[in-house]
Chain A
């Protein structure tokens, strides 16, 4: 019996107007949607802790500022905290939480304006990881289209001292000492918005998202504003894997839960052409060989008039066998595949603009 049939699968959905959950108890055949949660605040990332089942939601409200919301009962009730989620007095106020990473014992929150906060008490209180904002390059970071945000957090699977983060547009940074000091990890990634002889700087690239290959801490995949990349040395160097894809532009990256050579991307039609599906025909693109070749996955996805985009945190896989793949669109549609991307179904069609998609499997 597959794991999917003896467990509850949750899709955790962040939107511009609250968090939502979709739940399946029948092996991912049907889904029940619940929400909106978090007082319908703009929620940028909803993430589950697979160990405890706790769900965290990071966002920010125009009136009341940033917060990390939390539910320990699969969404029935929520609390919120921003204790310590503030820069020093006099600094530009934090507008919103953009990304969550890690687990309850060591939970991270990336915020706008770009910075990193850490909680060691399951999101009750937060501490500024000053080492990152103290990096000498900080004053040169430039806001991207979504603002100056820290949007990607990738912890090392076994070494709690190591962490990678992505900043738009500062680039990828890595710490090996628990956040005290940081080093840029952008060699080989391109910035097309600089003069021709300066397009491979040490930092300042517009990283959109990155993910780690399953069980391979040195294997990172990155979607950049300018290209798709792979690293085999923990981000010290990157090489392009964009050949065979319909564009060099997109936002999310989702790694397969077990196979480090399998990756999912959603290339959009380009950064100046609307940023929607190429030719208005939607597809998720999959590689099974670490980015050497790519296959478009379209079965069940709209093949005409698909004028939507997929944002940087809005695609995820699950841990089932076969792996599920999920993505949410800027138009509020949520699509799911229970067979590694071969076939897709619509889970929800009329949600607010989707900012993030994650999964959580609760064994019963």
Chain B
């Protein structure tokens, strides 16, 4: 169960600093996603060897977040894009320690 509300999330979360972060993956989330989960932050460091593993790591922090990003095929939702070090990625894309992963909303809507 996820909740909406609370203040605007910090751009840099507590996870972005601290020992060992250079071994982890830098993950940057879209504001529209962050705002759906109280306490969520727009940028953090997570451990995970694939994009899929990172979505599970997000879900462990903010239950329900993986379902907002991944559908039941399973695949990244159609109107979201994930970039690993600047290259468009899928759930199976491998992620090296120190990489930067962007989850972005695509152009959509009316």
- Are A and B co-members of a single complex? yes
Which residue from A38, A81, A87, A91 sits with its C-beta under 8 Å from B64? A81
**A-B pairs with lowest CB-CB distance, top 7:** A93-B71, A64-B68, A86-B72, A79-B3, A62-B108, A62-B79, A63-B105
Which residues does chain A contribute within 8 Å of B68, judged by CB atoms? 63-65, 82
Which residues does chain A contribute within 8 Å of B74, judged by CB atoms? 89
Contacting pair B5 A65 (CB below 8 A): no
In the assembled complex, the CB of A106 is this many whole angstroms from the nearest CB of chain B, namely 19
Which residue from A38, A87, A93, A124 sits with its C-beta under 8 Å from B1? A124
In the assembled complex, the CB of A277 is this many whole angstroms from the nearest CB of chain B, namely 24
In the assembled complex, the CB of A70 is this many whole angstroms from the nearest CB of chain B, namely 9
Q: Is A78 interfacial (CB 8 A cutoff)?
A: yes
Which residues does chain B contribute within 8 Å of A89, judged by CB atoms? 72-74
Interface residues of B in 1-18 (CB under 8 A from A): 1-5
Contacting pair A80 B67 (CB below 8 A): no
Q: A39-B35, A82-B64, A83-B67 are in contact. Are A93 and B80 (CB under 8 A)?
A: no
A69 to B68, CA, bound (A): 13
- What 12 new A-B contacts, CB under 8 Å, besides A93-B71, A93-B77? A39-B4, A62-B108, A63-B68, A63-B106, A64-B68, A65-B77, A79-B1, A83-B1, A89-B73, A90-B73, A91-B73, A124-B1
Which residues does chain B contribute within 8 Å of A86, judged by CB atoms? 67, 71-72
A91 to B72, CA, bound (A): 7
In the assembled complex, the CB of B1 is this many whole angstroms from the nearest CB of chain A, namely 5
Which residues does chain B contribute within 8 Å of A69, judged by CB atoms? 4
In the assembled complex, the CB of A56 is this many whole angstroms from the nearest CB of chain B, namely 13
Which residue from B1, B32, B71, B79 sits with its C-beta under 8 Å from A81? B1
Interface string of A307-347 (1 = CB under 8 A from B): 00000000000000000000000000000000000000000
Q: Is B19 interfacial (CB 8 A cutoff)?
A: no
Interface string of A38-52 (1 = CB under 8 A from B): 110000000000000
A273 to B79, CA, bound (A): 33
A86 to B35, CA, bound (A): 22
Is the contact region of chain A dominated by helix, strand, or loop, or is it mixed? loop
Q: A65-B67, A86-B71 are in contact. Are A80 and B109 (CB under 8 A)?
A: no
Q: Is B58 interfacial (CB 8 A cutoff)?
A: no
Q: A79-B3, A79-B4, A80-B2 are in contact. Are A39 and B64 (CB under 8 A)?
A: no
Q: Is B36 interfacial (CB 8 A cutoff)?
A: yes
Please give the number of chain B residues whose Cβ is less than 8 angstroms from any Cβ of chain A in the complex. 26
Minimum CB distance partner of A16 in chain B: B110
A124 to B63, CA, bound (A): 12
A69 to B71, CA, bound (A): 18
Which residues does chain B contribute within 8 Å of A83, judged by CB atoms? 1, 64, 67
Contacting pair B5 A78 (CB below 8 A): yes
Contacting pair A79 B2 (CB below 8 A): yes
Q: Is A297 interfacial (CB 8 A cutoff)?
A: no
Q: Is A214 interfacial (CB 8 A cutoff)?
A: no
Q: Is B49 interfacial (CB 8 A cutoff)?
A: no
Q: Is B57 interfacial (CB 8 A cutoff)?
A: no
Q: Is A22 interfacial (CB 8 A cutoff)?
A: no
Which residues does chain B contribute within 8 Å of A158, judged by CB atoms? none
Which residues does chain A contribute within 8 Å of B106, judged by CB atoms? 63
Interface string of A279-310 (1 = CB under 8 A from B): 00000000000000000000000000000000
Minimum CB distance partner of A37 in chain B: B4
Contacting pair B36 A39 (CB below 8 A): yes
A91 to B75, CA, bound (A): 11
Interface residues of B in 74-95 (CB under 8 A from A): 74, 77-80
Minimum CB distance partner of A69 in chain B: B4
Q: Is B53 interfacial (CB 8 A cutoff)?
A: no
A64 to B5, CA, bound (A): 17
Which residues does chain B contribute within 8 Å of A90, judged by CB atoms? 72-73
In the assembled complex, the CB of B97 is this many whole angstroms from the nearest CB of chain A, namely 28
